[in-house]
Structure 1
Amino acid sequence: MLFVRPARLADLDAIAHMARTAQPVLHSLPHDRAALEARIALSEDSFRAEVDFPGEEFYLFVLEDAATGRLVGTSSLIAAAGYAEPFYAFRNDALIHASRELHVNRKIHALQMSHELTGKSRLAGFYIDPSLRGDAAAHLVSRARMMYVAMNRRRFTPDVFTLLLGVTDEAGVSPFWEAVGRKFFGRDFKDIEMASGGRSRTFIAEVMPAYPIYVPLLPESAQRVLGEPDTSALLAYDIHLEEGFEPDRYVDIFDAGPVLTAQVDRTTSVAANESRVVREAVGTSASAAGGASYMVASQRGGEFRCVLTTLPPLPEGGHHHGAPHHAARGVAPLDSAARAALDVQDGDLVRCAPLRRETPETEDQSMGETQ
């Protein structure tokens, strides 16, 4: 069984391998071993710290195969993006150019460098081993972060965002970078990607233009990719939409990739979160009994764990978003592998959220959608 847990210093070798091989580059995982070790140590400190409001905390998660102990994925949470330095993105604006004499009134699409996302919590560092099949593992390692947010609200801001890879060709060349970034930096896209540290570097403000970039003046190839995810980011894009994220008015300053934002209270992992009592699974499986895929998380002993499994639906009126643990209604029948991965026993409490949240508007059509 696959499960998500916080990274440890003992994971350094495996995480270093993922950092070296991940494509696109994981800004949250430096290639330098000493810097990576410091990053993991910061994550361990962040998980242990008593936090009343988000600051410089960084949370690194790993996806572990319980059968082999092998790490096959990673993801991270940044409590406040750009805590030390502003976090930069392009804001999509519409500028009005008008002349009463010529009877001209035109709305022109322009990009303005902005640091308005600074201070908001950010999802980052998503990576899945290419050997894994299917989408279940990707959902687990990505959405476990929001389960952690749901269980630790004070550590994060009311709004959260993520930045996805923009369109690049087979050689890793970004049409938007070639049209804009290269003109100012005079260097390859990958070089600046490595140096940017996740868009929180002073040199970005020093080199990138402070004045608007008029989109109609850009080559068509650059205009076409504005806010579009790369094919390699389509799965992550869909997972975030399923969680409740939406494209916002921002795009990445280097490759024009989409910025997705969400109000934490409206995400599936928070709005549909419920507390259940662990029971040993016996007899007919939950799947055969009309169950559904659920994220199930625990913090027994203070360490976060999360798995993806099948649970039966709660009785009508059984949802208790925000309810205290003693108010749990309903059970979570878990097999021995799931209980071991979560480090829970019969009678313990776990937090559960459905992989898909049905709404009156989407219930009838959900069977035809792709997770």
Structure 2
Amino acid sequence: MLFVRPARLSDLDAIAHMARTAQPVLHSLPHDRAALEARIALSEDSFRAEVDFPGEEFYLFVLEDSATGKLVGTSSLVAAAGYSEPFYAFRNDALIHASRELHVNRKIHALQMSHELTGKSRLAGFYIDPSLRGDAAAHLMSRARMMYVAMNRRRFTPEVFSLLLGVTDEAGASPFWEAVGRKFFGRDFKDIEMASGGRSRTFIAEVMPAYPIYVPLLPEAAQRVLGEPDPSALLAYEIHLEEGFEPDRYVDIFDAGPVLTAQVDRTASVADNESRAVREAAAAVQGTSYMVASQRAGEFRCVLANLPALREDAARARAARAPRHALLGEAPLGAAARAALGVQDGDVVRCAPLWRETSDTDNSSMGEAQ
């Protein structure tokens, strides 16, 4: 069974391998072994810390196969992006250029360097082993982070965002970088991608243009990829949309990839979150696919399991906004799921449907992933 848990220092070798081989590059995970070890240690400290408000905490998760002990995925949460240095992105503004004499009134898009995302919680570092088949494991690896947010609201801001990979070619070159970034840095995209440390380095403000970049002046190839996710990021894009993220007016400062934002209260993992009591199930359970999370003794775990639909009275209680931790039903779980979660009969777990019902979601606002 696949389950999500916090990373440990004993995972260093496996995480280092994922950091080296991941495509696209995980700039939130350094390739330098010592720096990566420090990042994992920070994550361990962050999970253990008593937190009243988001700060410099960094939370690293891994996806483990309980049958083999192999790690097959990773993702992370940044409590406050740019906590020590501003987090930079381009804000896509519309500027009006008008002349009454010439009867001209034109709306021109321009990119302005911004650090308005600084201080907001961020989803980062999503990677899933290419050998895994189907989308369920990717959904679990990505969305388990929001289950953790749902269970630890004080650790994160009311709004979260995610920065997705922009379009690159087969050689890893970015049309947007070639049109903009290279003109100022004079270096390859991959070099600066790794050096940026998550878009929070001082050199970004020192080197990147301080004045607006008028989009119509850019080459057509750069304009075409503005705010578009790379094909390799489409699954992550779709997972984010399923969660309730929406494209915002920001794009990545290096490759113009999309920035997705969401109000935490309106995300699927929070709005549809239920507390249920574990019940031992000897046979397979028929029902809906749920993310099931526990935090017994402070150790977060999350799995996928089929659960029966809520009874009508429990569903009405949820619709009436029952107290957050009110028990709304039972969670019949098999031995493998209970072992992965570290729970036993009678323990309370938090559950959220893996797929959001269309009746609960305005599809016109759905749109991307990471």
Scaled by the length of structure 2, the TM-score of the pair is: 0.95
Alignment of 1:1-371 (within 5 A): 1-283=1-283, 285-287=284-286, 291-319=287-315, 320=318, 323-325=323-325, 327-360=326-359
Cα offset for 1:152?
Answer: 0.1
Q: Distance in 2 between matches of 1:230 and 1:192?
A: 18
1:317 Cα deviation (Å)? 4.4
Distance (whole Å) between structure 1 residues aligned to residue 42 and residue 339 of structure 2: 27
Match for 1:141: what amino acid? M
Letter in 2 for 1:43: S
Structure 2 counterpart of 1:173, one-letter code:
A
Alpha carbons 1:274, 1:323 under 8 Å: kept: no
Q: Which amino acid aligns with 1:81?
A: A
**What is the CA–CA distance in structure 1 between the aligned matches of 2:73 and 2:328, rounded to whole Å?**
33
Q: Which stretch shifts more, 93-102 or 42-51?
A: 93-102
Alpha-carbon distance in structure 1 between the residues aligned to 2:207 and 2:276: 52
Tell me: CA distance 1:217–1:107, structure 2 relative to 1, closer, same or farther (3 Å): same
Aligned residue for 1:369?
none
Q: Answer whether contact 2:281 2:333 (CA < 8 A) is retained.
A: yes
Contact kept? 1:185, 1:207, Cα under 8 Å: yes
Q: Deviations over 1:58-103 (max 9, x none)?
A: 0000000000111110000000000000000000100011112212
Query: Match for 1:67: what amino acid?
Result: A
| C-alpha displacement of 1:273 | 0.2
Conserved? CA contact 1:167–1:175, under 8 Å? yes
SS in 2 for 1:341: helix
Q: Distance in 2 between matches of 1:141 and 1:175?
A: 30
2-structure distance, mates of 1:20, 1:344: 34
For residue 125 of structure 1, give the secondary structure of its aligned residue in structure 2: strand
Q: Distance in 2 between matches of 1:130 and 1:322?
A: 41
CA 1:340–1:167 in 2, change beyond 3 Å: closer, same or farther? same
Deviation for aligned residue 1:323: 2.8
Q: Distance in 1 between matches of 2:122 and 2:11?
A: 23
SS of 2:310's partner is: coil
RMSD: 1.4
Determine the C-alpha separation between the residues in 1 that align with 2:73 and 2:176.
Answer: 29
Distance 2:344 2:322 in 1: 23
CA displacement 1:290-334 (0-9 Å, x = unmatched): x11110000011100000111111012425467353x20211110
CA spacing shift, 1:362–1:41, aligned 2, 3 Å: closer
Judge conservation of contact 2:282–2:335 (CA < 8 Å) in 1. Answer: no
CA distance in 2, matches of 1:254, 1:362: 32
Identity of aligned residues (%): 87
Q: Distance in 1 between matches of 2:97 and 2:209?
A: 20
Q: SS at the partner of 2:27?
A: coil
1:368 counterpart residue number:
none
The answer to whether the 8 A contact 1:275-1:323 is kept is no
Q: Return the alpha-carbon distance in structure 2 between the equivalents of residues 363 and 177 of structure 1.
A: 34
Residue 11 of structure 1 aligns to a residue whose secondary structure is helix
Q: 2:342 is aligned with what amino acid? A: D
CA contact (8 A) 1:83 1:118 kept: yes
Give 1:286 deviation, angstroms: 3.0
CA deviations 1:241-295 (Å, max 9, x no partner) are 0000000000001111000000000000000000001011144x433xxx11110
CA contact (8 A) 1:274 1:322 kept: no
Quick one: distance in 2 between partners of 1:242 and 1:324? 22
Task: Report if aligned partners of 2:58, 2:77 keep a CA contact under 8 Å in 1.
Answer: yes
Shift of 1:130: 1.2
Task: Supply the AA of the counterpart residue of 1:187.
Answer: R
Q: Which runs of 4+ in 1 moved over 3 A?
A: 319-322, 361-364
Please report how far the alpha carbon of residue 348 of structure 1 lies from its aligned counterpart in structure 2 after TM superposition: 0.5
Contact 1:161 1:261 in 2 (8 A): yes
Q: Distance in 1 between matches of 2:71 and 2:352?
A: 24
One-letter amino acid matched to 1:355: L
| Structure 1 stretches lacking a partner, 5+ long | 365-371
Structure 2 residue ranges without an equivalent (≥5): 364-370
Letter in 2 for 1:235: L
